[in-house]
Every structure is written in structure tokens, then in C-alpha cells.
Chains A and B, each alone.
Chain A
Amino acid sequence: MKPPILELKNISKHFGAIQALEGIDVQLGQGEVVGLMGDNGAGKSTLVRIIAGNFQPSAGEVILAGERVRFASSAGARQSGIEVVHQDLALCDNLTAADNVFLGRELRRRIGPFSILDYRAMARRAAELFSELQSETRPNDKVRLMSGGQRQAVAIARTRLSDARIVLMDEPTAAISVRQVGTVLDLIKRLRDRGITVVLISHRMPDVFAVADRLVVLRRGRKVADKPIADTTPEEATGLITGAIAVA
């Protein structure tokens, strides 16, 4: 395995009485693409949000590049080079594409004593990112009026704002066309080639098997499989997800 950029040690998370994750150990290698699968409610998004600083784990450690970290918010995780495409994209429909891309890390410029939003710079940068993603998304359009593919481009563009080390994608291909799925998978490969670690959550077996180096399966908050993609099959993965195969 490649040297780990991120290690999760014995991570647990409960919400009141709900035990969402229990004793999760995972290592992510640099430039590795990890497919994270599991049934609805298995805990995938919870795991992603812990890594991304949205949630704090109830127990366990997150170790980033050899150092123990505890992010108080997503801002901290972003500063450490962790970027996320959230499930359902986490967009504000009432804002423009550029506003959404920069949400939570808006560009500002100074006018005298005031620090004001730099709309021009944000629109320019957002336009660059959209064309990089080969998306016909205009920065100043409201997200509310956008197609599924354009919305997704907005969410993905966020991850390209800074030099990410880890990109977490929570069902990025859930609501888009076959052609657009191809674009996302290509992007994942490009990220990997640049040494960026990608975690891909998907319910679509072909996507995971097309790009992932390794497969991790969660079931009811526990890790039941963690193996190279070459050593497994879609059939086995399905069995692990449903519980027909207990553990691998």
C-alpha cells in the first residue's frame, strides 16, 4: 500500500441512541482512489463528514499526514487540504453559482476600512473552474435555475478552489446523465494522477469498479471489507453490502 495520508483509528460516532459508526479503522494512501460502499444508513456520509470536520467523532482519532487532528469545523479541514462534494451537493438554491462555489470562503477586497465581497474575482475564478470541468455553467446564474449536471459542476468546482490533498465525493454521480458520469470518473482519474487521494461513495457498482483502487464496505456502522479492487468482484461487493457475505 502507498504511504497513508489519512488514518482513521477506531472511529465511533453516535447520535443520541443511534450508533452510526463503530470502531472504524481506515487508511487512505496518497493518490489512492478508495470506493466506499454500503447500504442506505450504513454510515458512509457520517464517516465523510467526520473527515471533513462537519462532525466530531464520539471516539477515535483522525491522523492526517502523521499528525493527530481534530477539526472544529469544515474550515479547518479545508485548510488542511480536505475537500468534499457533499451528498445532495449542499447548494443554496437562492444564490448564484459563484456564490455557492465560494460559500464559506468568500473572496474579499478592501475599500478603505471595509472588507467587501470581491464579486468580480469570484465570478472570474468560478468561470475558470467551470470551463476546466467542461461545464456550461455561468457564474452569475442562480443555482435554482440549473440542470442536475450544472449543479453538480458547482459542487465539484468547490473542491478545486485550493490545492486539495484529499477529495471526498459523496454520491457525486447519483443524479446525472451517463455522459456526465464519465466526466466525473475522468476527473477522479486526473486527481489520482496528480497524487490526490479520492474517496468515492457510490451505489453504482460500475463506477466504483471503473476507478477505485480499493474497496471499503460499511454495514450498519461497521467496516466489513477493505481490500484491493482487483481481489474482489461486483458480486462479492453486493453480498458484503447486503450482508449475504458477513465479512471479507
Chain B
Amino acid sequence: MSPMPDTILRVGRFDPAEFAARYAAPLFLLLLIAVFTALEPRFAHPLNVFNILRQVSISGLVAIGMTFVILTKGIDLSVGSLLALSGLVGAYVAKGGLDDRFALGGAATAANPLFLVVLAALAAGMLGGAVQGLAITRLKVPPFVVTLGGLTAFRGAALLFSGGGPISGFSADYAWWGQGRIGMVPVPVVIFLGAALIAHFVLTYTVFGKHVYATGGNERAADLNGVPTRRVVFITYVISGFACGLAGFLLSARLNSAEAVAGSGLELTVIAAVVIGGTSLFGGVGSIVGTVIGALLLGVLTNGLVLLNVSSFIQQIVIGITLVAAVTLDQFAVRRRQAQ
């Protein structure tokens, strides 16, 4: 069925820009690992490796949710604020109120069982995502605007809700979710990798996943072919909100404290991870594997530069350049696609 001329054509269609956009991030990650390992013996130490992974896991979780959103050509700028708000909601439920908000240490008693805490944090995140998803799909307000509003509004809600101060001091089994280990592996890392596996499965093997790609690739065409594009887009914001809720809970458990200012500026790190991982801001192209690599890359970069005593100003410059380089590659690939 596959005649010769096509085979030749196919080889002729190898696209260097496409190749670079696809493999630049993993290659750069490997390069960084090699360089840091050579320059700094502490870098490859298992303790440091798990340290990196643990640092990556919170923003990485949020980046997984963000990947769904960006694949549909959307954006979610509200993630940092929503993370803070859901963390506070969880903490509030754990304490059963704001009365003993400053109780410190693992001796603190829980007012509500842990599953209610998790449920509350997840519900807060999903509700925030759902409200934004509705505004985007029903009221047709651009995602950038809706979630920019969310960024401000959820932060305000978090400040209002907490009265400005932190809620800290949780029970030991609460804190375990942020500080504990399963074997050698920190719990948040296990959750991050588990979430990545599930998200990868959903995007690759389910009808919903296919519809996410279709909607991002050509929303009108998807619509004409019976893809419920509005529902698909709505769900991606709920997923992003879910990720924020889970990450908010884990972060509060790790710090033993939930604060209204948690996750400030997180949206930038997360979008950077997704984009560096090869997911196109133009929608329809990208993967969870890429996002995990993008998140690891940022984590490794920051950690390595810190170990090498590079000033944090220079770190920011390096990360900025990496981000722009990734988007530039993506732009190249897009222009190639259009030229064809």
C-alpha cells in the first residue's frame, strides 16, 4: 500500500526546525546534568537529586495542569493565586477555623480528618478553574484576560480569607504529605510523577486527550466534526484548578504553613516549564513528557547555579534566555509548518 515515491518524499520532509523544537529540551537537560556533575560533585549526590525533584514537584504538578490548558491554545495565569487560595482552604478545614492558626509543631490536633482537608483544597482549586472555564467558554472572554483577573482576584480572596496572616502548624499526617518519604523518595515527588503518568495516559490514549489536541489544532474544524470543544476547554481549566489545589495542599504540608502569598509569580515558572518542554503556545502541539523535562530543566538549572554560587541575578538572566530560545525554536517550527 505504501509505494516508493512516498518513502522518498518522507525522507525529504525531514525538518531541522521541527527536530530542534522537539529534542532541544532533553538534549539541553542532559548537557546541564553533565556540566554540573563535572563541575560540582555535590550535584549528583542522591540527596541533592531528590532535593531537586522535590523542588520541581510542586511547580511541576501545576505545569501538568497548565499543559492541558496551553494545548487547547489557552493560558492560565491564575495558578499561583489559586494555589495559595486552595492551600488556605485546606488549612482552614484542617484547623476547623482560624482560632488556633499559629499553633506550631506536629503536636497540633486536627479538627477534621485529612481526606476532608484534601477534598476541600481540591474543590477550591477546581471551583476556581470552573469559574474561569465558564467565563472563557460561555462569555467568550479571552483566557489571558479571564485568568489575569483570576490572578488578582484569587490572591485578594486568599488575603481576605486568611486575614493576611499564615495558618500554620498541622498534624503529623498532614505534614507527611509534604515532608515524608516513601522509601527514599519524597512524597510530593511520587505524587508529581504519578500525576504525570496519568496525564500522559489521558492525553495519549483517551478520546478526551485527542479532543484536547484537536481543539488546540483547529477549534473550528474540531467543532464541525462534532468535538464538544467548549466542554473540552472548560475541563482543561478545571484540571488546571485541580492541579493548583493539589499543589497548594502539598506546599502547605511541606512548609507546615499555608499563606496567602504562597506561589507568587508561580505562573511564570510554570508557563516557562511547559513552553521549554516543547508545548506550543499556539496550541495543539506538546506533551506531558515535554513538560516534565521542562520542569526538570528549570529545577536542575536553578539548583546547579546555586551550587556553583552563581548570583541569583544571573540565574534569572539564564532562565529568561532559555525561555526565549525555546519559544524561538517553536516559532521557527510553526513558520515551517505554515510554509508547507
With an 8 A cutoff between CB atoms, is A219 at the interface?
Answer: no
Question: B2 contacts the other chain (Cβ, under 8 Å)?
Answer: yes
B224 touching A92, Cβ below 8 Å: no
Q: Are B340 and A103 in contact, CB atoms less than 8 angstroms apart?
A: no
> A117 vs B218: C-alpha distance in the bound complex, in angstroms?
20
Give the docked Cα–Cα distance between A117 and B207 (Å).
6
Q: How far is the CA of A91 from the CA of B284 in the complex (A)?
A: 12
A92 touches which of B221, B228, B337 (Cβ 8 Å): B221
Q: Is the CB of A106 within 8 A of B210?
A: yes
Query: Residues of A contacting B13 with CB < 8 Å?
Result: 145
| Given A86-B224, A90-B220, A136-B3: A103 in contact with B207 (beta carbons within 8 A) | no
Known contacts A117-B207, A138-B6; A95/B213 CB under 8 A: yes
Q: Select which of B2, B220, B227, B340 is within 8 A of A145 by beta carbon.
A: B340
- Using a CB–CB cutoff of 8 Å, the interface residues on chain B facing chain A are 1-3, 5-6, 10, 13, 205-207, 209-210, 213-214, 216-218, 220-228, 284-285, 337, 340
Return the 6 tightest CB-CB contacts between A and B, nearest first: A104-B226, A94-B217, A92-B217, A94-B284, A90-B221, A104-B225
Docked complex: A99-125 residues within 8 A CB-CB of B? 99, 103-106, 108, 114-117
Residues of B within 8 A of A94 (CB): 213, 216-218, 284-285
- B7 to A: closest C-beta gap in Å: 10
Q: What residue in chain A is nearest B224 (Cβ atoms)? A: A90
B224 touches A74 (CB 8 A): yes
Q: Does A190 contact B (CB under 8 A)?
A: no
Of all chain B residues, the one with the shortest Cβ separation from A87 is B224
Is the CB–CB distance between B206 and A116 below 8 Å? yes
A208 at the interface (CB under 8 A from B): no
Let me know if A186 is at the binding interface, CB within 8 A: no
What residue of chain B has the Cβ atom nearest to residue A103's Cβ? B225
Whole-angstrom distance between the Cβ of B199 and the nearest chain A Cβ: 14
**A78: CB under 8 A from chain B?**
yes
A91 touching B6 by the CB < 8 A rule? no
The answer to whether B337 touches A93 (Cβ under 8 A) is yes
B205 adjacent to A92 (CB under 8 Å): no
The smallest C-beta distance from A213 to any residue of chain B, in angstroms, reads 27
Provide a sorted-by-A list of 12 A–B residue pairs whose CB atoms are within 8 angstroms.
A73-B226, A90-B225, A92-B214, A94-B285, A95-B213, A104-B222, A115-B207, A116-B205, A117-B209, A131-B1, A136-B5, A158-B225
B222 contacts A103, C-beta separation under 8 Å = yes
Chain A residues with Cβ below 8 Å from B220 are 90
> Any chain B CB within 8 A of the CB of A191?
no
Q: Closest chain A residue to B15 by CB distance? A: A145
Q: Within 8 Å of chain B (Cβ to Cβ): is A127?
A: yes
Is there contact, CB below 8 Å, between A92 and B222?
A: yes
Q: Give the chain B neighbours of A92 by CB distance below 8 A.
A: 213-214, 217-218, 221-222, 284
Instruction: Find A108's partner among B207, B214, B228 (CB 8 Å cutoff).
Output: B207
**Least distance between B66 CB and chain A CB atoms (Å):** 18
Residues of chain A with a CB closer than 8 A to B284's CB: 92-94
Closest to A143 in B: B217
Kindly list chain A residues whose C-beta atoms are within 8 Å of the C-beta of B218.
Answer: 90-94
- Contact, CB under 8 Å: A93 / B226: no
Q: B340 contacts A144, CB within 8 Å?
A: yes
Interface of B is mostly: helix
CB <8 Å contact, A54 and B214: no
A95 to B214 alpha-carbon distance, docked (Å): 7
A65 at the interface (CB under 8 A from B): no
Question: A43–B2 Cα gap in the complex (Å)?
Answer: 40
Given contacts A104-B227, A144-B337, A145-B340, 14 further A-B contacts (CB under 8 A): A54-B224, A89-B221, A90-B218, A90-B221, A92-B222, A93-B284, A94-B216, A94-B284, A103-B221, A103-B222, A103-B227, A105-B226, A117-B206, A138-B2
* B221: chain A residues within 8 A (beta carbon): 86, 89-92, 103
Task: Give the Cβ gap from B254 to chain A, nearest Cβ, in Å.
Answer: 32
Q: Is A181 an interface residue (CB 8 A)?
A: no
**Which residues in A have their C-beta under 8 angstroms from that of B217?**
92-95
Q: Does A63 contact B (CB under 8 A)?
A: no
A135 to chain B, nearest CB (A): 11
A78 to B216, CA, bound (A): 23
Which of B10, B205, B214 is close to A117, meaning CB atoms less than 8 Å apart? B205
Residues of B within 8 A of A144 (CB): 337, 340
Partner of B226, one of A49, A74, A131: A74
Is residue A59 within 8 Å, beta carbon to beta carbon, of the partner chain?
no
- A105 contacts which chain B residues (CB < 8 A)? 226
List of B residues within 8 angstroms of A164 by Cβ: none
By beta carbon, the residue of chain B nearest A86 is B224
Task: Judge whether A184 is part of the interface by a CB distance below 8 angstroms.
Answer: no
* CB atoms of B6 and A136 under 8 A apart: yes
Instruction: Provide the residues of chain A in CB contact with B340, threshold 8 Å.
Output: 144-145
A108 CA / B218 CA spacing, docked (Å): 22
Nearest B residue (CB) for A104 = B226
Chain A residues within 8 Å of B5, by CB = 136
List of A residues within 8 angstroms of B3 by Cβ: 136
Is A75's beta carbon under 8 Å from chain B?
yes
**CB neighbours of B228 from chain A (8 A):** 73
Q: How far is the CA of A54 from the CA of B227 in the complex (A)?
A: 11
In the complex the two chains form, what is the Cα distance from A136 to B9 in whole Å? 12
Contacts of B227 in A (CB 8 A): 103-104
Find chain B residues with CB under 8 A from A131 CB. 1
